[in-house]
Amino acid sequence: MMRFYTSLAVTTLKKRKLRSWLTMLGIFIGIAAIVSLISLGQGLKTAIGAQFAALGTDRIIVQAKTLSFGPPGQGAVATLTKADVNEVEKVSGVDRVATRLIKSAKVDFNEHTQFTFVGSMPKESDGRKLIEEMFRLRTVEGRLLQQGDQRKMVVGNAYLDDAKFGRALQSGDKVKVNGEVFEVVGVLAKLGQPQFDNIILLPEDAMRNLYDLPEEVSAIVVQSEAGQDPEVVGDRIKRELRKFRDVEENREDFTVQTSGQLLETLGTVLDIVTAVLAGIAAISLLVGGVGITNTMYTSVLERTSEIGVMKSIGAKNKDVFFIFLIESGLLGVAGGIIGILIGIGLSKTVEFIAGQALGTGLVQATFPWYLLVGALVFSFVVGSAAGTFPAMQASRLNPVDALRGA
Amino acid sequence: MFEQALRYAARGLAQRKLRSWLTMLGIFIGIAAVVALVSLSQGLKVAIEEQFSKIGADKIFIQPKGTFGGFESNAGQLTLSDKDRLKRVQGVNEVTTYIIKAGLISLDDENVPVYIAGIPEDHDERDLVIEIGTWEIERGKWFAAGERSKVVVGNDFARTELLSRQLRVGDAVTINGREFEVSGVLKRIGDPSTDGGVFINEQALRDLFKMNDEETSFLGVRVEKGADLALVQERLRRELRKAHNVEEGQEDFEVQSPEELLATFNTIFGIIQAVLIGIASISLLVGGIGIMNTMYTAVLERTQEIGVMKAVGARNRDVLLLFLIESGLLGMAGGAIGIAIGMMLSKGVELVASQAFGSPLIRAFFPFSLIFGALLFAFVVGVASGVLPAYQAARLPPVEALRYE
C-alpha cells in the first residue's frame, strides 16, 4: 500500500516538474547552508581536539587569575612566583614542572622595530623538554636553546618573512630585545598559530635579568605522572596552592586548567558559535517549509476532482491524507539529499580555499554520519510537517463537492 | 493604465488569499530576521558611538605600544615627565595621568578581582580624567583631592552582580588589604571595566601597588578649543619621540584619538554584522523562490485569462507588467509585515536585555534607511522573482492560451 502511495506521489511530482524543482530549491538551499556551517564548525573542533591530543592530555597549566576585560596588559590580579612553583613541585602525582615567563618586548633589528611576545625557556633540561614536547618545538634552521645559553635567542617561523625586519632572520643575527643584544641561534618550524609563530624565546635567566623580575612566573606547566588522572592532580594542586596562598575555595586568585578542561571550554565556545549561525540559517529552512505548504495547497486545489474520483471509488480519508503527506515528505527528502550534496561541496570548497590561502590545516570539513542522517530526517520532517494541513484539507473534502470540482 | 494594472494584480492576490499569505510569509520571515539583526547591531553601534562622543572630539589618548594580549609591557613606559613635557606642546589644554591596575576587592568573606583606576589630585587633571572615562556619579559624590581612603565604585557594586551584598555610600570595603569608605556610586554605562571598576585617589593607588612616583599607565590629553586635532596629535608624537629618544616609525607609544579607536571597532563590528546578515538573507532568497513558484502557478492558472486579454488587444508588454506588479506587490506586502515583525522582535530583545542585564548598550535602532531599504529590497526580490514567470506569460501565443484547459 505504502509503495503504491509513493509511486503515485512520484508521478504527480514529475507532472509538475518546474513547481517541484522550485519547491525543493527552497529546501536544499537551507539544508546546504546548515550542513556546510555545521560540518565546518565540527571540523574545526575536531582539528583543535587533535592538536590538543598531540600536546598530551596529561598537562596542567597554572596561571594567575586575570580580568578578562578592560585595558590589556593590566590583567593579572596577583602574579605567581617561584615560591608557588616550589609548592606545585611537592604535590603528589606531579611528574615534571616548567616555569614560563611571557612578556611583550620591543625588538630592533636592521633599523626596523617590532613589538612582540618573548617567552622564557627553562634552564633545567626537564622543564625545557616539557615545553619543547608540549609545543612540539622544532627548528627549520639552527638549534633550540640549550643549557648554558645566555645571550641567545630562538625566533618563531614568522621572522622568516621579510616584512618583519626587512629581511629574514637567520642564525648569527644580532637582535636587540628591549635594548639588549641577543644572538639568533635557531628559527622554529611553523606552528600554525600567529601568537606562537611570532614568539621569541630567550633563556630564562637572561630574560629575568632583562626584565628585572627574579621571582615572577607567568604560567606553571605541569605534567602529571603516568597513570594519574590529570583532573585529580589538578585538584590537588589547587588545594595546595589555596593553602599556600591563603585563599578560600572559589575565591582563588589563580586558575588550574588541565588540557582536557581547556579543550572542553574551547569546544563549548565553538558549539555556541556554530549553533547561532546554524540557527539563523535554519530560518531559511522554515521559509522553505512554508514553500512546501504552499505548493501542497495548490496541488490539493488542482486535484480536487481527482480526489473526488478516488473517494467515490472507495478511498478513505486516511488514504487521501497519506497520498498528500507522502508527496510533501518526498519533496522535503529530495530537497534534503540535494542540499546535503551541495553542502558537502560547499564546505569542501571552503576547506580547499582556506588550505590554499591561509596554509592552515585547521579548517577541515567533517561529515559525521549523524549530521548527514540528521539533515535528511530533518528535511523529511519539515516536508511532512509542511504538508500536514494541506493533506488534512484534502482528506476532508466532501466526495460529491470534490467531484463537481468545487 | 498603471493604476488599472495595480488593481488587477491586487484582485488576483486577494482571490488566492491562502496562497498569497503563505508566499508573503516566506518573505516576511526573512525580512523580519534581517531587520531585527540590523536594528540591534545598529543600536549597539550607535550606543557605543554615543559613549565615544561623550568623551569628546577634543581628546587624545596616549598608551605604550605593545600593551596587548594580556601581558604587561615595559616598552614605552609613560612617565610623569612625559606628562609635563606634553603640557607645554602648542595646542594642548591639559594632560592627565590615567593609571589602571588589577586588584582584589573584599567584602565580608568574598574576594573579587577588580580594576582600580587612580584619580589625580590636581583639580584640572582630575576633571579631564573623569571626562575621558565618562564617569558620572549616581549617588554620593567624588572624594575630595586629599581623601586617600575613600572609594567611588562602579554600578555593578550597587547591585549584587559581583559581590553578594550591595554597596552603599558610607560602607567600608577592603581593596588589596586596605580599608576604604565608599563615597559614591557611578551611573551604569554598560562597559564592564567601568561598571565593575573602583576609583581611588591616585596617590593611594601608587601606595597600594608600591608603584614609583614616575610611571603612569596612560596619558589623556585635551586639546585647546579650535585647535586642529590631527595637528596636535602630530606635535604630541614628535615631542614624545624626542622624550623617548626614538625615531619616526619606531615609536614605542601610540597617540590615538577616540575617532581612530572607534574606526577600528567599526571595522571588526562591520564584518560580524555582514556575516550574520548574509546568513539571514539566505532565507530571503528562499522566500524569493517561493514567489517565483507562486507566480508560475498563477500564470498556469490564468492561461485562458491571458488568452482573452491578448485577444482583446493586450500587448506582450501589458501582460508582462501585470504579472510583474503582482509579484512586486507580494514582495512589498511581505516586506512591510516583515519590517513590523522585525521591529517588534528587536524591541522585545531590547526590553528583555534591559530587564535582565540592565544593559543600556542593547537597544533597537531603526534608521529611516533601514526601513526604507528593507521595503525596497523586498520589492526588488518580489519583482526579480516574478521576471521569469511574467516573461513566460507575456510570450504565450493568444490562440493556444485561449484553447488551454
DSSP A326: H
In the predicted model, what is the mean pLDDT of chain A? 84
Parallel, antiparallel, or unpaired for β B110-119 and B253-256?
Answer: unpaired
- Give the model's pLDDT for residue A264: 82
Chain B residues with CB-CB distance to A77 below 8 A: 102-104, 113
- Give the model's pLDDT for residue A75: 54
Give the integer Cα–Cα distance in Å for B166 and A125: 51
A163 at B interface, C-beta within 8 A:
no
A102 at B interface, C-beta within 8 A:
yes
The three grid cell numbers given for residue B216, joined into one nine-digit string: 603612569
The yes-or-no verdict on residue B182 having pLDDT over 90 is: yes
DSSP A230: H
For an interface test with B, give the residue of A246, A283, A379, A382 to mutate (most B CBs within 10 A): A283
The yes-or-no verdict on residue B393 having pLDDT over 60 is: yes
Cβ <8 Å between A283 and B280: yes
| Size of chain A, expressed as the number of residues it contains | 406
pTM: 0.72
- Give the model's pLDDT for residue A70: 41
**pLDDT tens readout for residues A105-127:** 878 888 887 777 888 999 888 88
B111 at A interface, C-beta within 8 A:
yes
Specify the long-range contacts of residues B128-131, CB closer than 8 Å, at least 24 apart: B128/B94, B128/B95, B128/B96, B128/B220, B128/B222, B129/B96, B129/B97, B129/B98, B129/B220, B131/B55, B131/B56, B131/B59, B131/B222
Parallel, antiparallel, or unpaired for β A112-121 and A200-203?
Answer: parallel
**With the CA atoms of B214, B216, B222 and B224 taken in that order, what torsion angle do they form, in degrees rounded to the nearest 10?**
20
A251 at B interface, C-beta within 8 A:
yes
Enumerate the β-bridge partners of residue A116.
A105
Are the beta carbons of B39 and B346 closer than 8 angstroms?
yes
- Give the model's pLDDT for residue A73: 42
CB pairs under 8 A between A and B: 181
The yes-or-no verdict on residue B70 having pLDDT over 50 is: no
**pLDDT tens readout for residues A287-306:** 889 888 988 888 888 888 88
> Which of A:40-69 have CB within 8 Å of B?
65-67, 69
In the predicted model, what is the mean pLDDT of chain B? 85
What chain A residue is nearest to B276 in terms of C-alpha separation? A277
B73 at A interface, C-beta within 8 A:
yes
Q: Tell me the DSSP string of B202-217.
A: HHHHHHHTT--SSEES
**pLDDT tens readout for residues A189-206:** 887 666 678 889 999 999
Amino acid identity, position B375: L
Give the integer Cα–Cα distance in Å for A105 and B68: 11
**pLDDT tens readout for residues A306-320:** 888 888 898 888 888
Amino acid identity, position A393: Q
B68 at A interface, C-beta within 8 A:
yes
The three grid cell numbers given for residue A71, joined into one nine-digit string: 585595558
Cβ neighbours around B401 below 10 Å, total:
20
Cβ <8 Å between B283 and A284: yes
Mean pLDDT comparison of A132-136, A356-360, B146-150, highest-scoring range: B146-150
Q: Tell me the DSSP string of B56-124.
A: -TTEEEEEETT--TT--B-TT-EEHHHHHHHHTSTTEEEEEEEEEEEEEEEETTEEEEEEEEEE-SSHH
Mean pLDDT of A228-239: 88
pLDDT above 70 covers a percentage of chain A that reads 93
The three-class DSSP label of residue A43 is helix
Parallel, antiparallel, or unpaired for β A174-177 and A254-258?
Answer: unpaired
Distance from CA of residue B181 to its chain's centroid?
Answer: 36
Cβ <8 Å between B22 and A294: yes
Give the integer Cα–Cα distance in Å for A201 and A120: 6
Cβ <8 Å between B102 and A77: yes
B102 at A interface, C-beta within 8 A:
yes
- Give the model's pLDDT for residue B68: 44
Give the integer Cα–Cα distance in Å for A201 and A331: 60
The three-class DSSP label of residue B196 is coil
The yes-or-no verdict on residue B72 having pLDDT over 60 is: no
Phi and psi for B155 in degrees, rounded to 5?
A: -65, -25
What chain A residue is nearest to B193 in terms of C-alpha separation? A70
